[in-house]
Chain A
Amino acid sequence: MKKNIFYSILFLFFLFIFSIFYKGLDNSNIYTTEKIKNENLSAFISKELFSNEQFDSNDIIKVNKFTIINIWSSWCIPCKQEHSVLMDLKEKTNINIIGLNYKDKKNNAINFINKLGNPFSKILTDPDGVISISLGAYGVPETFLINNESNVIRKYIGPLTHDNILEIINLIKS
């Protein structure tokens, strides 16, 4: 009798462990920072790609109700694919899109823009990648939708899709 109770407890214990591990199989192991939205985007100072003029991010963000910051690079293949989506977004809304050119050569970046069009109102440069890291970026491309108080409303890792655009349009309407 005592032995039976012991074995049934043991059985339940292993069943418990098994169910936990089995459930754990469904969890994705890929870590992304997509869900982490720190309340305030840290301010940065950077030079514009074409004019070489220096800008403070706070001054740019303050002006419009919503701003999009898109981290891109001419050497990044998904950015090329994303570019048409950004052009589309520019056409559909008059939202202020700021490009942050990540670890790029000036000539390559300018060629990229000349070839594929310029959806950005300003392109700020980030030659050593420090600004992107300080914003909490994971890689290129990455997009932040922020309001005029520098609060991050939505963050997209990887290239933007047309579905993302619809979501952005809905978000800035409300």
Chain B
Amino acid sequence: MRIIKIILLIFFLILSFQKLLIANDNSMIIDKISKNLRCLICQGQSVYDSQSDFALSMKLLIKNKIENGESEDQIYDYLKNQYGEWIVYDPEFDKKNLILWAFPLLLFIFGGILIYKKVFIN
């Protein structure tokens, strides 16, 4: 009798978790996208963190778009088009920030040359 109870318990436990996982499928991707978006009217918060009107509506919009079958990249592109590149946390590589991206690499190479000279030539 006891074994049946335990088996039943485990069975329903697994069942309940499964339902949870299915239900959270969409909300997980919404969370992921909103974590990558800057809340424009809040200071230093992502859309995910913020409870402002702007962020709440933004999350709803993302949800609608996901339900309409749009991909993550499509949503980013759409929002970048509407709000500018500032809305995403990941800056794109372009002419304006070329130095920013290339400078550490240049320093790295320069340092490498210095070390190489010191160790192998002298």
Contacts and interface: CB of A to CB of B under 8 A. Distances in A.
B61 A139 contact: no
Contacts of A36: 82-84
Interface string B52-81: 011011101100100000000000000001
Main secondary structure of the interface of B (DSSP, over half): helix
A129 B56 contact: yes
B10 interface: no
Nearest to A132: B57
A41 to B, nearest CB: 10
Interface string A19-53: 00000000000010100101000000000000000
B86 interface: yes
Contacts of B60: 128-130, 133
A136 B82 contact: yes
Given A31-B40, A130-B61, A38 B82 contact: yes
B41 interface: yes
Give the size category of B's interface with A. Answer: 10 to 19
Interface in B42-57: 53-54, 56-57
Main secondary structure of the interface of A (DSSP, over half): loop
A111 interface: no
A130 B64 contact: yes
Interface in A98-157: 103, 128-130, 132-136, 138-139
Nearest to B52: A139
B58 A133 contact: yes
A31 B86 contact: yes
Contact of A130 (B40, B57, B83, B86): B57
A136 B41 CA distance: 13
6 contacts: A31-B84, A31-B86, A128-B60, A129-B54, A138-B54, A139-B53
Given A33-B40, A36-B82, A130-B60, 7 more contacts: A31-B84, A33-B83, A33-B84, A36-B83, A133-B57, A133-B58, A139-B41
